[in-house]
Amino acid sequence: MDFQELASVMRRLALEAGDLIMQIYDAPDFEVKTKSDDSPVTEADEAADAHISAGLRAAFPGVTLVTEEQSESHDQSADTFLIVDPLDGTKEFIKRRGEFTVNIAYVKEGVPVRGVVYAPAKGRLFYTDAEGHSVEESGEHARETVGETRSLAVTQPDNNALMVVASKSHRDQATDDYIGKYRVRDMTSAGSSLKFCLVAAGEADIYPRLGRTMEWDTAAGDAVLRGSGGKMVRFDDHTVFTYGKAGFENPFFIAYAPGVDLHRA
């Protein structure tokens, strides 16, 4: 894989998909349908999926592609693949909260080694560069020219005063009970894969998820987190989190800055 080309293509496609999403988001109304698993899907999900899929297939024709909107047609047998959630946080999109993202990642041998997370309504763009280091890009986000970037690095956490980020739409008592085992300085909520990026950017120390997620929900954010020095482990036994699982379903997990004392909980 040419990682320079990969970084460029993923960044451009995420930005272009963001444009398509915002055109629909800013419209007076848009159609919402229900998928077979009872989750919502909008025309923005479908438009972004079609655009990103076409772009990735054209650029990397020999690489397996998995996307949320086409997942039922995939028979996962590869451990190296591109994986896409064209609109992560559809519920946030429908409620017009703005905390939704475009996620594109490249998984190699079960590990998300490159990824991009773009929050078009918030104007925040996070990605791994060609070397695998995570950055946030500011400015106009021109399609063909990279703007000013800053390197991302996780915090050196204080276990007596942790900053926690949790899901906005999927918060439950089990999550609150787990968070209650730590000494927490403050807590914030965020939608979609932005939670990973807040940890990667040093704006939070830990993000626990005790609920159902799929690999396309987490791969890009996980890649950005790893590229900033962060870690993601299974909730049950704290082993390394991997991708390419049957059915693409994730176990519960913890994303965090190294130094957080997981054993305290």
Which tens digit of pLDDT belongs to each residue from 61-79?
999 999 987 765 555 667 8
> What is the CA 89 to chain-centroid distance, rounded?
10
- The pLDDT, as a whole number, for residue 28 is 78
What does pLDDT average to over the chain?
91
202 φψ region: left (φ > 0), alpha (ψ -120 to 50), beta (else): left
pLDDT in tens, 157-173: 999 999 999 886 666 78
Q: pLDDT band for position 37 (50/70/90)?
A: low
Structure tokens at 80: 């190296």
pLDDT in tens, 209-259: 999 999 999 999 999 999 999 999 999 999 999 999 988 999 999 999 999
Rounded to two decimals, the pTM is 0.94
Third-level CATH fold of 162-264: D-Maltodextrin-Binding Protein; domain 2 (3.40.190)
Q: Strands 134-137 and 40-42: what pairing?
A: unpaired
Third-level CATH fold of 3-151: Fructose-1,6-Bisphosphatase; Chain A, domain 1 (3.30.540)
Domain residue ranges in the chain = 3-151, 162-264
List strand residue ranges (DSSP E) for the chain, in order: 32-34, 40-42, 65-67, 81-88, 101-108, 111-119, 124-128, 134-137, 149-151, 162-167, 184-190, 206-209, 231-234, 253-256
- The pLDDT, as a whole number, for residue 19 is 96
